């Protein structure tokens, strides 16, 4: 089944063509590629930008897939969560295309897209599974009873992990969004150089994530350490990542230990899934518990993109979950996974 998928949930304008779970094309016009490969990151807000780009991106997704538009079986679109005025652009384009080509329409939850993104490559897995979505806007630990049936075991009460990493980078004077560059610095630093508070270590029942306390402690620490040298920046970056990831590890081990279920697989998705240190730490934690970690096969599938939406839509199509009335399909900025 071939699906044309669209995602305009926030900064990125994205479209993709997928066939079952296989990605045929995955076009993302992000702020980062706005100056092309060497350009600038511009977090400028832009419904207008989405509108200007959407046709180009959709056309590009179709032409790159080398499939004729009329061979596409369904149109999928992210309806939430996200920025309302941005979501709207993708939704109206999807409705227009579905009507024009007389194709069914599938409404997708952006987080489900991230969650299922590792399945874009064939995997052996069995239910129940676990899922961890770590991005700029979300941090959720999820029980996947089966595809489409989810239970959120833990989520953030303030900042998302990706947001915390970006802000830490900005506090170190590394610009924004600097999560990726923070990781580069951290590689040269000593994670034990500074001791930062592990978030919510006092929680007896570990069912939430929080990064505001760590962020504040980091602000204070940086004030104390100024002026910053490159060595200090590296050590601070490494120590911040250490505390931020330790928190994830703590919540995951608590939850896994307390689940009355045998789990053998965990899906990792979202932009922070690109962080190699986080991957290594999770790998270690999970291997000891006999759980296989599945990560998206390409970097592009981690950040916001539409191929993941196509993958999630394929499973919905299998369950015959199509939009019944196009007119009633509306954006859901605060859409929940479960």
Partner 1 sequence: MGQCLLKGNRAVELGMKIVKQNPKAVETAVRVLKRGGLVIYPTETLYGVGVKATNPQAVLKLNAYKKRPFGKPYSVAVADQKMAEKYVFLNQTARNLYREFLPGPVTVVSAGKHKVAPGVESENGTLGIRIPKYKLVIEIVKKLRVPITATSANASYQKRPYQISDILENISEKQKSLLDLIVDAGKLPPHEPSTVIDTTLDDPAILRQGEVRLKDKNEILSRSKENTQNLAKELFQKYEGYLGQRPIVFALEGEMGAGKTQFTKGLGKVLGIKEEIVSPTFNLILEYGELAHIDVWRLENPQELEILGFLKMIEDKNKVVAIEWAEKVAEAIRKYRGQAIIIWVKIKYGKNPNDRLISWGAL
| Three-state DSSP state, 116 | helix
- Known binding residue 179? Answer is yes
By CB under 8 A, tell whether 52 contacts partner 1: yes
Query: Least Å distance between CB 231 and partner 1?
Result: 11
By CB under 8 A, tell whether 44 contacts partner 1: yes
DSSP for 35-50, please give it: TGGG--------HHHH
Rule CB under 8 A: which of 188-247 touch partner 1?
212, 215-220, 228, 230, 233
What length does the chain have? Answer: 338
- Known binding residue 102? Answer is no
Compute CA distances 322 → 80, 143, 313, 315, 319, whole Å. 16, 24, 9, 11, 9
By CB under 8 A, tell whether 39 contacts partner 1: yes
Compute CA distances 161 → 136, 279, 330, whole Å. 7, 14, 28
Contacts of 218 (CB under 8 A, 6+ apart): 168, 171, 196, 236, 240
By CB under 8 A, tell whether 187 contacts partner 1: no
- Known binding residue 134? Answer is yes
CA 197-202-206 angle, to 5 degrees, is 105
Find out whether 105 and 77 touch, Cβ atoms under 8 Å: yes
- Known binding residue 55? Answer is no
- Known binding residue 44? Answer is no
Rule CB under 8 A: which of 257-296 touch partner 1?
none
By CB under 8 A, tell whether 298 contacts partner 1: no
- Known binding residue 309? Answer is no
Binder among 71, 96, 173, 192 for partner 1 (CB under 8 A): 173
By CB under 8 A, tell whether 156 contacts partner 1: yes
- Residue ranges binding partner 1 (CB under 8 A): 10, 27, 32, 34-48, 52-53, 56, 60, 64, 81-85, 135-137, 155-160, 162-163, 167, 170-171, 173-176, 178, 180-181, 184, 212, 215-220, 228, 230, 233, 333-334
């Amino acid at each position: 089944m071939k699906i044309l998928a669209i995602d305009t949930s926030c900064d990125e304008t994205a479209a993709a063509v997928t066939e079952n779970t296989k990605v045929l094309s995955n076009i993302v016009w992000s702020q980062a590629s706005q100056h092309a490969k060497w350009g600038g990151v511009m977090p400028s807000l832009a419904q207008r930008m989405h509108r200007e780009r959407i046709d180009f991106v959709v056309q590009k997704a179709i032409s790159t897939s080398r499939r004729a538009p009329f061979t596409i079986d369904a149109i999928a679109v992210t309806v939430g969560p996200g920025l309302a005025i941005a979501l709207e652009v993708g939704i109206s384009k999807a409705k227009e295309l579905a009507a024009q080509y007389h194709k069914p329409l599938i409404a997708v939850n952006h987080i489900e897209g991230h969650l299922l993104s590792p399945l874009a490559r064939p995997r052996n897995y069995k239910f129940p599974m676990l899922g961890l979505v770590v991005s700029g806007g979300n941090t959720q630990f999820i029980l996947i009873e089966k595809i489409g049936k989810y239970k959120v075991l833990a989520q953030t009460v303030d900042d998302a992990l990706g947001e915390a990493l970006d802000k830490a980078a900005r506090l170190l004077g590394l610009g924004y969004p600097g999560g990726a560059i923070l990781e580069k610095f951290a590689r040269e630093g000593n994670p034990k150089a500074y001791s930062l508070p592990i978030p919510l270590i006092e929680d007896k029942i570990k069912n939430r994530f929080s990064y505001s306390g760590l962020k504040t402690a980091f602000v204070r620490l940086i004030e104390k350490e100024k002026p910053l040298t490159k060595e200090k920046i590296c050590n601070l970056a490494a120590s911040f990542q250490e505390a931020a990831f330790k928190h994830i590890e703590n919540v995951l081990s608590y939850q896994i230990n307390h689940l009355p279920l045998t789990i053998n697989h965990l899906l990792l998705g979202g932009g922070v899934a690109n962080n190699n240190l986080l991957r290594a730490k999770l790998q270690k934690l999970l291997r000891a518990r006999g759980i296989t970690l599945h990560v998206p096969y390409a970097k592009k599938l981690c950040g916001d993109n539409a191929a993941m939406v196509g993958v999630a839509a394929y499973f919905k199509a299998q369950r015959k979950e199509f939009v019944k009335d196009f007119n009633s399909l509306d954006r859901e900025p605060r859409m929940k996974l479960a």
